[in-house]
Chain A
Amino acid sequence: MSLAVAPPVADARLRLGLRAGLGIFVLLLGIMPLLNLLPVTHPLHVSDFLVSVTGKWICYAILALSLDLAWGYAGILSLGHGAFFALGGYAMGMHLMRLIGPRGVYGHPVLPDFMVFLGYQELPWYWLGFDSFPFAMLMVLLVPGMLALIVGFLSFRSRITGVYLSILTQAMTFALMLAFFRNDMGFGGNNGFTDFKELLGFALNTSAARAGLFYASLVALVLSFLICLRLTRSKYGRVLTAIRDAESRVRFLGYNTTSHKLFAFVLSAMLAGLAGALYVPQVGIINPGEFSPANSIEAVIWVAVGGRGTLVGAVLGAFTVNGLKTWLTSAAPDLWLFVLGALFVAVTLFLPKGLIGLIKGRVQ
């Protein structure tokens, strides 16, 4: 007697179809910067705007994946993932600020403009090392990771779950926003960081740099997807879903659920930080607004719309909702928040499994 561990055929086919769809989608994204090089008159030309906005969406898709790992698989509904994204963004921003060097308005050889303006005599200790790219990249992962470790440890150990955990994470991002608004924090207050010049020796205002960042983001998205896939397809992934559905039962099987949730939460925060770090040089600015609670909630809506608990769903949701947002904010800017709210209500009521659920329903 041999047992096929494969899921039913229809399911496997569907999964294959979705993966293939995603592969084609990534390929299409991959040729966008190339099509951008075609003359403007060419029918296949892709505008600068579309390339840069798509680059942003790719970062959002990474954020959506990270949130899906925490929420869709481990059941940790974080309403503060924007904070991890923003911290990664700030770490990258600090690196970019250090690279400006003497090219700032005040021409100070080391201090960023805002520090000169605020009368700093020397660089605060926590800015040291950020002139090094590898160090900054390490911080992009470590700072969000450490915050997630602390917040996660304290709350998971005390068995704070559900709504309470959501409120706690929301409070976390709100508190960080208020902190980063303060000038004396040394992060540029409400102006944040901007006027970046270069990264890894490439001037940021060139189309080559833009394409480079675009491809870096795309590679990061694919890698994040593969990491999440590896995780969720393993026994560890099944432990996470078991924790999501019946945490106390998992404990009675001898699993220390705190460490399992912590592992997922920290990894998720690191992916969110990576997304933020790729986002900042593309948009050219980072300020405390990135910590706004609304940002974190929007990310939850992307995942809900796409279909939580499926990786393809998270990516799909990020692109769909942000595509809609970009279109609507130019077509009817006042409508966007209402549409977003309505979308969330509609998905919660009619599409609990999101767009992926809809597609699955069609196929079966």
Chain B
Amino acid sequence: MSEGRRLYLDGVSVVFDGFRALNNLSLIVEPGELRSVIGPNGAGKTTMMDVITGKTRPTAGKVLFGETDLTRMDEAGIANLGIGRKFQKPTMFDALTVFENLELALKAPRGPIACLRWKLNGEARTRIEQTMAEIGLTERAQDLAGILSHGQRQWLEIGMLLMQDPELLLVDEPVAGMTDSETEHTAALLVRIAGRRSVVVVEHDLEFVRALGRRVTVLCDGSVLSEGSIDHVQNDQRVIEVYLGR
């Protein structure tokens, strides 16, 4: 790892038909850091994750994961480097059960032959069971993901992220649709993961961001508006104008 940089976005811009979704955005995430990203709708938070995970190619700028330039890689390659993502709209495989969704996400060789020969051993089963307990879906193990509620889908996708055991977790609006106690649980979970892993969380829920209690980046119009502790950004006049004071 180079001088405490897990993820390094350097002057990243994304232009959609003349519209700048990201505008010369720079961001450094350190190993083990837990970073919250907030900002108004359309600020470019999801687009930033799209750029990191290879879904969108930046128009300009560099995206480095350690020393590796991510802008030249495809989604699967980036994921295999150790970058996991939870989508804003929970996405999983509705025709598979909760257990099977987690099994697919579990870190293991990804090729066709390896999957064909895959046997669920005790260790893998234990990991899946532990994760199901963690995300509160043990009872639903054999239910199809398609019949879960929105909150449960959020949990399942968080569970899938855990199964991948990534170096860097990108978590887009994890607590939308969750109850207060579930939100607290998620905050505790992310805090626990951080330290060993780097975590970037996008969230509108400021109580949740406060519960995470770490460095906060405020995005607006595709670039960083303010950065610091939650108290710092909440008292930043520009942040109050464009985001908090709405």
Given A256-B110, A260-B112: A249 touches B76 (CB 8 Å cut-off)? no
B99 contacts A3, CB within 8 Å? yes
B138 contacts A259, CB within 8 Å? no
Q: Pick the contact of A254 from B76, B129, B138 — CB < 8 Å?
A: B76
Given A234-B116, A234-B118, A248-B75: A253 touches B99 (CB 8 Å cut-off)? no
User: Does A245 sit within 8 A of B, measured CB to CB?
Assistant: yes
- Give CA–CA (A28, B177) in the complex, Å: 55
- Give CA–CA (A244, B213) in the complex, Å: 40
User: Does A235 sit within 8 A of B, measured CB to CB?
Assistant: yes
Q: Pick the contact of A231 from B76, B105, B110, B116 — CB < 8 Å?
A: B116
Tell me the minimal C-beta distance from B70 to chain A in angstroms.
Answer: 13
How many residues of A sit at the interface, in one of the four size bands?
20 to 34
Q: How many residues of B contact A (CB 8 A)?
A: 37
Given A246-B93, A249-B92, A251-B75: A236 touches B112 (CB 8 Å cut-off)? yes
- Give CA–CA (A255, B115) in the complex, Å: 10
User: Does A241 sit within 8 A of B, measured CB to CB?
Assistant: yes
B94 contacts A245, CB within 8 Å? yes
- Give CA–CA (A255, B99) in the complex, Å: 18
For chain B, residues 137 to 156, give those with C-beta under 8 angstroms from any C-beta of chain A. 138, 141-142
User: Does A153 sit within 8 A of B, measured CB to CB?
Assistant: no
Tell me the minimal C-beta distance from A264 to chain B in angstroms.
Answer: 8
B164 contacts A254, CB within 8 Å? yes
Binds B, one of A4-12, A215-223, A296-304, A315-323: A4-12
Which residues of chain B come closer than 8 Å to A252, judged between CB atoms?
53, 55, 75-76, 79, 85
How many interface contacts (CB-CB < 8 Å) are there between A and B? 92
Which residues of chain A come closer than 8 Å to B55, judged between CB atoms?
248, 252
Per-residue interface assignment for chain B, residues 90 to 110, with 1 indicating a CB less than 8 Å from any chain A CB and 0 otherwise? 011111110110011100001
Per-residue interface assignment for chain A, residues 194 to 227, with 1 indicating a CB less than 8 Å from any chain B CB and 0 otherwise? 0000000000000000000000000000000000
**Mostly helix, strand, loop or mixed at chain A's interface?**
helix
Which residues of chain A come closer than 8 Å to B112, judged between CB atoms?
236, 239, 259-260, 263-264
Tell me the minimal C-beta distance from A43 to chain B in angstroms.
Answer: 47
Which residues of chain A come closer than 8 Å to B94, judged between CB atoms?
245
Tell me the minimal C-beta distance from A228 to chain B in angstroms.
Answer: 12
Given A256-B76, A257-B76, A259-B111: A238 touches B142 (CB 8 Å cut-off)? no
User: Does B67 sit within 8 A of A, measured CB to CB?
Assistant: no
B75 contacts A241, CB within 8 Å? no
CB nearest to A249 among chain B residues: B91
CB nearest to A7 among chain B residues: B142
B93 contacts A242, CB within 8 Å? yes
B104 contacts A254, CB within 8 Å? no
A245 contacts B75, CB within 8 Å? no
Which residues of chain A come closer than 8 Å to B125, judged between CB atoms?
3
User: Does B160 sit within 8 A of A, measured CB to CB?
Assistant: yes
User: Does B74 sit within 8 A of A, measured CB to CB?
Assistant: yes
B76 contacts A238, CB within 8 Å? no
Tell me the minimal C-beta distance from A116 to chain B in angstroms.
Answer: 46
Which residues of chain A come closer than 8 Å to B91, judged between CB atoms?
246, 249
- Give CA–CA (A344, B99) in the complex, Å: 35
A238 contacts B100, CB within 8 Å? yes
For chain B, residues 103 to 135, give those with C-beta under 8 angstroms from any C-beta of chain A. 103-105, 110-113, 115-118, 120, 125, 129
B142 contacts A5, CB within 8 Å? yes
User: Does B80 sit within 8 A of A, measured CB to CB?
Assistant: yes
Given A3-B99, A235-B104: A255 touches B92 (CB 8 Å cut-off)? no
- Give CA–CA (A259, B113) in the complex, Å: 10
A253 contacts B160, CB within 8 Å? yes
CB nearest to B91 among chain A residues: A249
Tell me the minimal C-beta distance from B154 to chain A in angstroms.
Answer: 15
Given A234-B117, A248-B75, 8 extra CB contacts under 8 A? A3-B141, A236-B118, A241-B95, A242-B93, A246-B93, A251-B75, A252-B85, A253-B164
Binding site for B on A (CB under 8 A): 1, 3-8, 231, 234-236, 238-239, 241-242, 245-246, 248-257, 259-260, 263-264
A selection of 20 A-B contacts at a CB cut-off of 8 Å is A3-B99, A234-B116, A234-B117, A235-B104, A238-B96, A239-B104, A242-B93, A242-B96, A246-B92, A248-B75, A249-B93, A251-B75, A251-B79, A252-B55, A252-B79, A253-B104, A253-B164, A254-B80, A256-B76, A257-B76
